[in-house]
Amino acid sequence: MPSVIRDLHERLLRRETTAEGLLDQSLAAIRDKDETLHSFLHVAEDTARAAARRADEEFQAGREELPLLAGIPCAIKDMICVAGLPATAGSRVLDGFVPPYDATVIERLKDHDAVIVGKTNLDEFAMGSSTEHSAFGPTRNPYDEALVPGGSSGGSAAAVAANLVPYALGTDTGGSIRQPASFCGVVGLKPTYGRVSRYGMIAFASSFDQAGPLTRTVEDAAIVYEAIAGEDPRDGTTLPGSVPSVRAALEAGVQGLRLGVPEEYFAEEGVDPNVARTVRHALGVLAGLGAEVREVSLPLTGVALAVYYILATAEASTNLARYDGVRFGRRVPGRTLDDVYRRTRGTGFGAEVKRRILLGTFALSAGYADQYYRKAAAVRQAIAREYAQAFETVDILLSPATPEVAFRIGEKLQDPLRMYASDILSVPMNVAGAPALVVPCGSVDGLPVGLQIIAPLGREDLLFRVGAAYERRRSETEGKKDP
């Protein structure tokens, strides 16, 4: 499929449109559709217009080699700080907080003359799989408004799927880019841990969190990834050295690549047989393009979810300690300092966030840390080793992105464990730090299904090789349905 971003870029170069014109289209689409969808929490018309005008001046000046993202509108998950715009993380506890600085990913988008249209809805502090845990009400799925868009980057996924913006940034701690991408029929990339700076990203679970793009095509994801990735002196966990280009990989094809199919990813409890069948069909397409498909086994898959919910909640419980009514956002007055903490946190956090803080505090508490936290940390290493071993015999792993297609709003809200199980196929990559790309691969009952492509650490190029080859073949044979 032709890249949406490249196509807009060429139209801008040929003066067939302007950045301000693109912004107006985006704002009109938001006015038209977003009252129902609720994918945006904040639309920043004034700053976006100023950015669009600056980009138009660059185009008019005929500046050589303008970046591909120049003058093109985008949306940012409200978990990422943009200087001067409110940042809520989907939470009341950040009421009134306006960050005075840009996250590194935002600084990089701005260096590329991107136009930031606004901030998108999410589960509170990115904890969730449906965007229903947002303190500001849920986002709806553009395919069917009775359904969730997935989460936690549900606002970003819905905004791209409904064509409100050509691309958006999300964050992925346990699947929050890939699961909503799958539910909304768009492309989503979770980069290798450390490939993208976390500076200025509101922290949920720091050893898992990564930002990445949600786009309509695989090439668009490559363009945005290359713009935001790279070492950052302000985030000591970023990988050193330059980022290998992935754009060349888009044309490389899959001839001779060894694709591993982990049996456990198709057999986990709750994997809808129709979803599994759709993904197996995609594997057949890749085999037809000259890839070699092999069954592999990852026996630790079944414990990854438990490991994730111990470690991620433990990290969250410490990360969220900073919302104390003193430093950021909301403050509810009280008689004593303890009283201020209690009232601010008691009224500022929603039920899911409180549940995670309690779980994490328990997992770290004296007497239980060995049994839970340290045990989970050890199993995490074993899971990472299991991946590394699998990649000794295959180049890539493939699976469904989610066990089932988008579910109904309200369906899992009363049952946290069922909600957590929605990420059973996406959390293992965050546990291992591995990169993964989700590409639409068909539908079940008219709802999108995502193919998840998983690569060894640092091998985003392989994701794009497979993703682009598959997408090309699919658009030649099937076409793609728009919501």
Examine residue 3 and tell whether it contacts ligand GLN (CB under 6 A). no
Measured from the CB atom, is 26 or 173 closer to ligand GLN?
173
Least distance CB 435 / ligand GLN (angstroms): 14
Q: Which of residues 292-351 bind ligand GLN (CB under 6 A)?
A: 312
Number of helices and strands (H, E) in the chain? 16, 11
Tell me whether residue 153 is one of the annotated catalytic residues.
Answer: no
According to CB under 6 A, which one of 131, 173, 278, 317 is a site residue for ligand GLN? 173
> Which span sits near ligand GLN by CB under 6 A: 46-54, 170-178, 229-237, 322-330?
170-178
Q: Which two tokens stand for residue 62?
A: 């005929």
Examine residue 175 and tell whether it contacts ligand GLN (CB under 6 A). yes
According to CB under 6 A, which one of 88, 120, 129, 319 is a site residue for ligand GLN? 129
Measured from the CB atom, is 173 or 192 closer to ligand GLN?
173
Residue nearest to ligand GLN (CB): 176
Instruction: Choose the catalytic residue: 26, 33, 39, 77.
Output: 77
According to CB under 6 A, which one of 152, 301, 319, 399 is a site residue for ligand GLN? 152
Q: Which two tokens stand for residue 456?
A: 């060894």
What are residue 400's phi and psi, to 5 degrees? -65, 155
Per-position DSSP letters for 213-264, written without gaps between them: EEESSHHHHHHHHHHHBS--TT-TTSPPSPPPP-GGGGGS--TT-EEEEETH
Tell me whether residue 176 is one of the annotated catalytic residues.
Answer: yes
According to CB under 6 A, which one of 106, 127, 379, 457 is a site residue for ligand GLN? 127
Instruction: Choose the catalytic residue: 91, 134, 153, 176.
Output: 176
Measured from the CB atom, is 172 or 219 closer to ligand GLN?
172
Measured from the CB atom, is 129 or 217 closer to ligand GLN?
129
Least distance CB 152 / ligand GLN (angstroms): 5
- Alpha-carbon span 439 to 247, nearest angstrom: 17
Instruction: Choose the catalytic residue: 3, 134, 152, 317.
Output: 152
Tell me whether residue 152 is one of the annotated catalytic residues.
Answer: yes
Tell me if 448 sits within 8 A of 428, measured CB to CB: no
Measured from the CB atom, is 25 or 361 closer to ligand GLN?
361
Examine residue 126 and tell whether it contacts ligand GLN (CB under 6 A). yes
| Residue spans of alpha helices (H) in 83-172 | 104-111, 154-161
Residue 185's contacts (CB-CB under 8 Å, 6 or more residues apart) are 143, 161, 440, 443, 448, 450, 480, 481, 483
Instruction: Please count the other Cβ atoms lying within 10 Å of the Cβ belonging to residue 383.
Output: 23
Strand ranges (E), 92-166: 115-120
- Alpha-carbon span 103 to 117, nearest angstrom: 16
- Alpha-carbon span 435 to 482, nearest angstrom: 27
Examine residue 172 and tell whether it contacts ligand GLN (CB under 6 A). yes
According to CB under 6 A, which one of 176, 215, 301, 452 is a site residue for ligand GLN? 176
Burial class (CB in 10 A: 0-12, 13-18, 19+), 35: exposed
Binding site for ligand GLN (CB under 6 A): 126-129, 152, 172-176, 204, 312, 423
Q: Which residues are catalytic?
A: 77, 152, 176
